[in-house]
Amino acid sequence: MTIINVLLPLAIADAYSYLLPDDLHAEIGDFVEVPLGSRKMIGVVWPDDGKKPPAKTVKLKTVIGVVEMKPLPLELIKFLNWVCDYYISPKGMGLRLVMNVPEAIGVVQNIDAVRMGTGEVERSTKARDQVLDICEGGETFRKSELAKQAGVSVAVVNGLLKMGALSMAQMPKFAKFKVPKTNHNLADLADDQHAAADTICQAVAVQKFETFLLDGVTGSGKTEVYFAAIAKAIEQGKQAVVLLPEIALTVDFLQRFENRFGVEPAPWHSGLAKGARERVWRAVASGEAKIVIGARSALFLPFDNLGLIVVDEEHDGAYKQDSGVMYHARDMAVVKANIGKFPLILASATPSLETYLNATSGRYTHLVLDKRHGGAKMPHVRSIDLREHQPESQKFLSEPLITAMKAKLAAGEQSLLFLNRRGYAPLTLCRACGHRIACPQCDAWLVEHRFNNRLMCHHCGISIVKPTKCTECEAEDKLVACGPGVERIFEEVELLFPEARIELLSSDIQMNVDEIQRRLNAIAAGECDIIIGTQMIAKGHHFPHLTLVGVVDADLGLENGDPRAAERTYQLLNQVAGRAGREQKQGMVLLQTYMPQSPVMRAMIAQDREAFYKAEAYGRELANLPPFGRLASIIVSSKEQKKAFAFARTMIEAAPKITGMVILGPAPAPMGFVRGRHRVRVLARAPKGFKMQDWLKSGMLSVKPSGDLKVQTDTDPYSFF
């Protein structure tokens, strides 16, 4: 008997010790079945971190069995340990990020199938012939699949089986992923694309760790550049993964990939069905799937032989996981590439300040594409000062914007109105008593959704039927909608342009993927004049007929206490602006704002990105905010606010005093009440380079919460709500 460490995918800090019987053999990374209390569970043999005291053999439980499958690669184990250490998460939660497809653990079973048999067909019919024709080549089929292909009922297949004309067989549960054809549909790269691709390909060829910032304006052809790098990785026998914000992971994008490489990539996102997840997980582990295109969690797939990571739209906030292990996939991609010794591409038209500074300081290799591909011009950007051009009462579009839209409509070109706010109105107010309808369990107003006649909380999701009288003073018909959401803009546009074809796209409008795709295709084909949309329309889409972008409220998001508010607003506005004039015709962007002099608006109008980054970097350095200082946010929550405050103070008292470390709070979090719990926040700010994790663990986090108290630590927080 030997003692081994086994990590279980649960919220536990470390691996447990188990006895391994002599007749079993298990190495680090192997999946093993072990007893846990009265249950059995599968975990992974984990390396000893050298910190644990030797276990006493007498009390140890014994490993039940070793699962017959490939062990987790050592690099992945190293990576998970790193991630959990950095985000101060239980290691078991890190393993859970990998073992989130339980069906994929263990040997894959074959499934029943049918193939051509040797028996005679008793009486030939058209239906029977159709089935047999398909089976002629000797292939195996699932019964239902065969029937479908032949256009007959399963009964026909069963009949042929009975007479022996077909026979039962076994076939693999999943279709294989085909090897991408690296030379399938090569783009003729422009000079700057070519130069960028060459530089990256050299690093891919020698498999060394290097981080590239592929910094190119919207439409400059960044995708084609990283496709070239992916092709190189495949030629080297390596796997590659492209990370995208979930919202940008569209059928369109996957199709574009397929056009280039002649095969489907392995997709990875929250919408995948169970079987599809298992198929991808296994194919990634075996090395059969060469290219994965996925959302942030694809970083935790068990790659057999990864040789390149691409993080597209690297600045996007969607890369930060906001529960469990609160990792930032872009930052962890850098760690993963460093551990695996291979290159990494961060692509963006508006890099995060962190990445931008790393690139300009030389830590990352900076590759710039400053022109749109094919000679399309960058759009002109103008602001509309809402103080001068006030929309009519209860309306939200100003006269100059309406005039521009009219001109586009007359010219047969498309306009897009962007407003990053779902629903009809963000607030409902009683004109009789002044009451504002708020969520009963959150610090948030209920948002009116007129299409389904409800008021909804965008934080916890509860909704109520829209009341006809005030919930406070019971006055009838005194409730008014305040402010606009996209539904309200839709209403305004319908009144203004009764003859126009209008499309409203918002993530909360109940549409399935096909329906969304159908609408996007219709827009691209020019079957619509005015598009109204939220963030979901801002990313990645190429609409050839779109020449005017109107931003209904460019200031939205600027004032919310988030240190990255300006940066985010700038990135979002740029992305939306990038939808205009992507082909021959000149694009125009109009920003409705009350603050035309703010650094964000000025940079947008002058299209002077460097000036914006400079101003932003200056402000953050003065305030010791990231990337010049480091932050950790500790949120203490409880049903009782007093208890949360008291506990937060106890935590702070336990923190070692160190010069340069600043503790802010405790204070009610900006969203101080969510889902019925009070939230109190402590922000710790450290100088750059200081290892905050040890300081937190030995201090604040050494005080353990009890009762209904909960503590959530967020290293490098992005969400400040």
How many chain residues bind ligand ADP (CB under 6 A)? 16
> Using the rule CB under 6 A, is 188 a contact of ligand ADP?
yes
Distance (Å, rounded) from C-alpha 382 to C-alpha 605?
6
Distance (Å, rounded) from C-alpha 360 to C-alpha 365?
8
Which partner in ligand ADP, Zn ion, none is near 216 (CB below 5 to 8 A by kind)? ligand ADP
Considering only residues 206 through 225, tell me which ones interact with ligand ADP, judged by CB under 6 A.
Answer: 216, 218-224
Residue type, 497: F
Q: Kindly state the smallest distance separating residue 721's Cβ from Zn ion, in Å.
A: 12
> Using the rule CB under 6 A, is 193 a contact of ligand ADP?
yes
Residue 35 has φ and ψ, to the nearest 5°, of -80, 145
Nearer to Zn ion by Cβ, of 464 and 475: the residue is 464
Q: Where does 290-351 have alpha helices with state H?
A: 329-340
Nearer to ligand ADP by Cβ, of 217 and 386: the residue is 217
Distance (Å, rounded) from C-alpha 35 to C-alpha 678?
38
Which partner in Zn ion, ligand ADP, none is near 440 (CB below 5 to 8 A by kind)? none
Which partner in Zn ion, ligand ADP, none is near 666 (CB below 5 to 8 A by kind)? none
Which partner in Zn ion, ligand ADP, none is near 189 (CB below 5 to 8 A by kind)? ligand ADP
Q: Is 481 helix (H, G, I), strand (E, B) or coil?
A: strand
Which partner in Zn ion, ligand ADP, none is near 193 (CB below 5 to 8 A by kind)? ligand ADP
Nearer to ligand ADP by Cβ, of 216 and 629: the residue is 216
Q: Kindly state the smallest distance separating residue 362's Cβ from Zn ion, in Å.
A: 46
Among 91, 128, 232, 373, binds ligand ADP (CB under 6 A): 373
Nearer to ligand ADP by Cβ, of 350 and 358: the residue is 350
Which partner in ligand ADP, Zn ion, none is near 218 (CB below 5 to 8 A by kind)? ligand ADP
Which partner in ligand ADP, Zn ion, none is near 439 (CB below 5 to 8 A by kind)? Zn ion
Nearest residue to ligand ADP, by Cβ distance, number only: 221
Q: Kindly state the smallest distance separating residue 220's Cβ from ligand ADP, in Å.
A: 4
Burial environment of residue 382 by CB neighbours within 10 A (0 to 12, 13 to 18, 19 or more): middle
User: How are the residues of the chain apportioned to helix, strand and coil, as percentages rounded to the nearest 5?
Assistant: 35, 25, 45
Distance (Å, rounded) from C-alpha 431 to C-alpha 470?
9
Distance (Å, rounded) from C-alpha 179 to C-alpha 189?
23
First to last CA, the chain: 52
Per-residue binding letters, 529-548, with ligand ADP (x by CB under 6 A):
-------------x------
* Neighbouring C-beta atoms of residue 53, cutoff 10 Å: 5
Distance (Å, rounded) from C-alpha 501 to C-alpha 486?
16
Q: Where does 191-322 have alpha helices with state H?
A: 191-206, 222-235, 251-261, 274-286
- Taking CB under 6 A as the binding criterion, the range among 5-13, 184-192, 435-443, 481-489 that sits at the site for ligand ADP is 184-192
Residue 156 has φ and ψ, to the nearest 5°, of -65, -45
User: With helix as H, strand as E and coil as C, how does 102-153 read?
Assistant: HHHCCCCCCEEEEEECCCCCCCCCHHHHHHHHHHCCCCCECHHHHHHHHCCC
Stretch (H or E) spanning 336? helix 329-340
Among 190, 231, 283, 669, binds ligand ADP (CB under 6 A): 190
Nearer to Zn ion by Cβ, of 62 and 560: the residue is 560
Which partner in ligand ADP, Zn ion, none is near 460 (CB below 5 to 8 A by kind)? Zn ion
> Using the rule CB under 6 A, is 189 a contact of ligand ADP?
yes
Q: Which residues bind ligand ADP (CB under 6 A)?
A: 187-190, 193, 216, 218-224, 373-374, 542
